[in-house]
Amino acid sequence: MEEKRELRIVRKTWETADTATFAFEPTDGRPLQYLPGQYVSLVFSTQTGEKRRAYSFSTCPGVDALPAVTVKRVVNGEFSNWLLRHAEPGDVLTATEPHGRFLLPPKRPDTIFYIAAGSGITPVISHLKALLAKPHSARIILYYANRDSQSTIFKPQIDQWIKDFPTRFRCLYFFSKEKKADNALHRHLNNQLLEELLSRHFADGIAAKQLRGTLFYLCAPQAMMRMAEMTLRTMNFPEKNIVKENFVAETRLPTRELDTTRTHLVVASNARERIEFKAFAGETILNAALRQGIPLPYTCKSGVCFTCLAKCTKGEVDVAFVDSVRREGPGDMVNTCIGYAATERVELWYE
Ligand SMILES: Cc1cc2nc3c(=O)[nH]c(=O)nc-3n(C[C@H](O)[C@H](O)[C@H](O)COP(=O)(O)OP(=O)(O)OC[C@H]3O[C@@H](n4cnc5c(N)ncnc54)[C@H](O)[C@@H]3O)c2cc1C
Ligand code: FES
């Protein structure tokens, strides 16, 4: 069900004191097919089993010769620290095929706003490369929050774009620890400021056309994304025009009591194969598969990355998020890492 790739690191470039970009090439010579905004999951073997971490591409196909990911150190983080300290050109990493739904729309909107913070810039920079490579694309505004200029990933590139594309691209930095910098405010981006900035941007008023024709992409800490989404919804921007990428796995997930006396039959298929396996009541579909050595795709195992997404074609699945359970049926997409079979038989289709 899942194909793994071996990626050789070709270049390691330090972007800031705690962030580096790793460019790589697949060892099998087959190009890695990806879209701007997607990510790969790096697969690490540890003494306690396999662990995975997702890293978004900071490159854009057709613009950059080699795919690359950009990794920022997380304090006490197991693999971000390992990558930054030990991974070097020549090393080979194991990865999954690219995944992700933080994608550009097929039809360009009038305006695209990006709200990013820290390493959240990574999938955004991939989008920006794609958009700015085309002469007649949308107007782009980036709100980008960091501590200061020094810690701002890709600042030289963004500053160059500010100069090169004065009518199409604008960036406003928000620095919490730096008082005077070009194109920057020494403020936290909160709901009042965001509303003020948007109202100023749409000086002639936010009519139906602006509400429909403006897209928002958010990639920042959860609290900031929640603030931005609430502000945008209060201002009547439609929910479907707000696209979010969450980097941090959810640790407060509800679990269910395992009942090994009751089982459900799960049929997982894709274009190449069909696998049947049993899941205990109270066991997620993904865990049931992995327990039996069936390699279904996953990364975060906590409902945030969507690697494990499959379409339910028969039966029903309970998808258990932190604050709600959604009963999904035929035609619905389900996160199998937090999905429990709710009927005797469940059939799933993997793209
Ligand atoms: C879809 C997706 C795309 C991602 N893209 C990137 C990317 O392009 N660049 C990048 O650097 N990271 C990215 N991440 C985050 C990355 O996958 C890892 O979670 C991150 O590198 C930390 O892993 P770790 O093993 O070092 O830390 P862990 O050992 O897993 O975590 C250590 C502690 O830090 C917390 N934590 C984990 N991640 C973060 C975070 N991002 N910010 C703050 N606290 C955190 C954890 O809750 C835990 O308490 C992405 C995550 C997802 C789900
Ligand atoms: S593995 Fe990340 S959402 Fe399921």
The residue-averaged pLDDT of 18-29 equals 97
Identify whether the C-beta of residue 127 lies closer than 8 Å to the C-beta of residue 114. yes
Which residues does ligand 1 sit against, CB inside 6 Å? 39, 53-56, 69-72, 74, 76-81, 119, 122, 245, 247-248, 300, 304-305
Among 8-12, 105-109, 134-138, 329-333, where is mean pLDDT lowest? 134-138
Nearest ligand to the C-alpha atom of residue 319: 2
- In whole angstroms, what is the distance from residue 204 CA to residue 191 CA? 21
State pLDDT tens for residues 262-277: 999 999 999 999 999 9
Residue 95 and residue 93: Cα distance in Å, rounded?
A: 6
Class of the domain covering 259-349 = alpha beta
Q: How far is the CA of 249 from the centre of ligand 2 (A)?
A: 9
Q: Rounded to a whole number, what is the distance in angstroms from the first to the last CA of the chain? A: 10
Cα separation, 215 vs 104, whole angstroms: 10
Q: For residue range 109-162, list pLDDT tens digits in order.
A: 999 999 999 999 999 999 999 999 998 778 999 999 999 999 999 999 999 999
Q: How far is the CA of 304 from the centre of ligand 1 (A)?
A: 12
Order of strands across the sheet that contains 317-320: 325-328, 317-320, 339-341
- Joined together, the tokens standing for residue 182 give 């070009």
- DSSP character at residue 61: B
* pLDDT, tens digit, 9 for 90 and up, residues 67-123: 999 999 999 999 999 999 999 999 999 999 999 999 999 988 999 999 999 999 999
Using alpha carbons, select from 146, 139, 148 the residue that is nearest to residue 189: 146
Q: Is 59 in the pocket of ligand 2 (CB under 6 A)?
A: no
Compute the residue count for the chain.
351
Matching CATH number, 4-96, of 2.40.400.10, 3.30.1330.40, 3.40.50.300, 2.40.30.10: 2.40.30.10
Sequence ranges of the chain with CATH classification 2.40.30.10: 4-96
pLDDT value of position 151 = 98
CA of residue 35 to ligand 1 center, whole Å: 21
Q: Does residue 301's CB lie within 6 angstroms of at least one atom of ligand 2?
A: yes
What's 111-244's CATH class?
Answer: alpha beta
Residue 38, helix vs strand vs coil? coil
Q: Where on the phi/psi map is residue 236: left (φ > 0), alpha (ψ -120 to 50), or beta?
A: left
Ligand 1: atom nearest CA of 72 is 11
The residue whose C-alpha atom lies closest to atom 49 belonging to ligand 1 is 77
As a whole number, the mean pLDDT across the chain is: 96
Distance 306 CA to ligand 2 centre (A): 5
Share of residues in the chain with pLDDT > 70 (%): 100
pLDDT of residue 136: 75
pLDDT given for residue 323 in this prediction = 86
Cα separation, 262 vs 112, whole angstroms: 49
> For 203-253, what is each residue's pLDDT tens digit?
888 888 888 899 999 999 999 999 999 999 999 999 999 999 999 987 888
Comparing CA positions, the residue from 118, 122, 117, 46 lying closest to residue 82 is: 46
State the pLDDT at residue 250.
79
**Could you give the residue range(s) of every CATH 3.40.50.80 domain in the chain?**
111-244
Going by C-alpha positions, the residue among 181, 163, 169, 39 that lies closest to residue 98 is 39
Confidence at residue 205, expressed as pLDDT on a 0 to 100 scale: 84
18 Cα to the center of ligand 1, angstroms = 13
Give φ, ψ of 76 to 5 degrees.
60, 10
Q: What does the pLDDT read at residue 207?
A: 87
Residue whose CB lies within 8 A of the most ligand 1 atoms, among 14, 51, 71, 74, for a mutation test: 74
Q: Are 336 and 346 in contact (CB under 8 A)?
A: no
Can you tell me which atom of ligand 1 is nearest the CA of 39?
Answer: 3
Q: Where in the chain is the domain with CATH 3.10.20.30?
A: 259-349
